[in-house]
Structure 1
């Protein structure tokens, strides 16, 4: 390759080999970044506790009784689940946090009454997690 003065001819382009190395390096960088994002996302979305609605019963115009099945990867660890009441329009009209203490079984069934601001038509489980607030832990 002939060296030409950059002041007169402008900056020289990359050689074919340099372009291939640059493209290969960028490809590897993008793949590594994708793997890192996937590993972090998997760690965040891997929920060690899962709640599933088993049933609900309307007690009166302000209360629904919600029964959930809670499955944990570690039954010795306490979890908290949020159960809620919903009105006819689908809006959440009541909510309650339920502490599920340590157990010997992976799956336990829990029933909780939820007070509602409007007449409830359904009860459901919003979700469960292992971040138990301090105010739910028994002294």
Structure 2
């Protein structure tokens, strides 16, 4: 059976043009660049943290305080850091929170702090650490009275 011809002025031509060979290379290069950008962004967001705090021990001192011992590992020991520690109660509520200044020093630093709580704590933990130290932690305390 012979193929039926359709009017080209009404339906257009069936013959499609193939894109030039260089277009494939341009698309491939663009895909490689996009892949590299995605890899860099993923590494920055999911790679190792530049600073990390880890709780090493905690001790419940009484119904309203807990001592938290923790270790800070950082890539830039010449920079001070701010670590946020918190205590939680039996029902999971956060019952205490405190910022702890970690002065510039060694790559790995051990710190200890006592945290006052609003009700009986059952655990103490490091919530996180950052190089963004608030000004109120770095200034000398003003005398009260």
Question: Paired residue for 2:11?
Answer: 9
Task: Describe the shift of the 1:106–1:20 C-alpha distance in structure 2 as closer, same or farther (beyond 3 A).
Answer: same
- For residues 46-77 of structure 1, give each alpha carbon's deviation from its aligned partner in whole angstroms, at most 9, with x where no partner exists: 42211111100111111111110111112111
Which has more radius of gyration?
A: 2
Task: Describe the shift of the 1:122–1:9 C-alpha distance in structure 2 as closer, same or farther (beyond 3 A).
Answer: same
Shift of 1:114: 1.5
Shift of 1:13: 6.8
Work out the CA distance in 2 between the residues paired with 1:126 and 1:32: 37
Task: Describe the shift of the 1:14–1:56 C-alpha distance in structure 2 as closer, same or farther (beyond 3 A).
Answer: farther
Work out the CA distance in 2 between the residues paired with 1:20 and 1:42: 34
**TM-score after normalising by structure 1:** 0.79
Task: Describe the shift of the 1:7–1:115 C-alpha distance in structure 2 as closer, same or farther (beyond 3 A).
Answer: farther
1:106 aligns with 2:107: yes
Q: Which moved more, 1:27-36 or 1:128-137?
A: 27-36
Work out the CA distance in 1 between the residues paired with 2:15 and 2:20: 9
Shift of 1:79: 0.6
Written as runs of structure 1 = structure 2, the 5 A alignment for 1:16-31 is 17-18=18-19, 25-31=26-32
Question: Paired residue for 1:33?
Answer: 34
Match of 1:64 among 63, 66, 70: 66
Asked if 2 retains the 8 angstrom alpha-carbon contact of 1:47 and 1:129, the reply is: no
Q: Which runs of 5+ in 2 are unaligned?
A: 1-6, 141-145
User: Cα RMSD (Å) of the superposition?
Assistant: 2.8
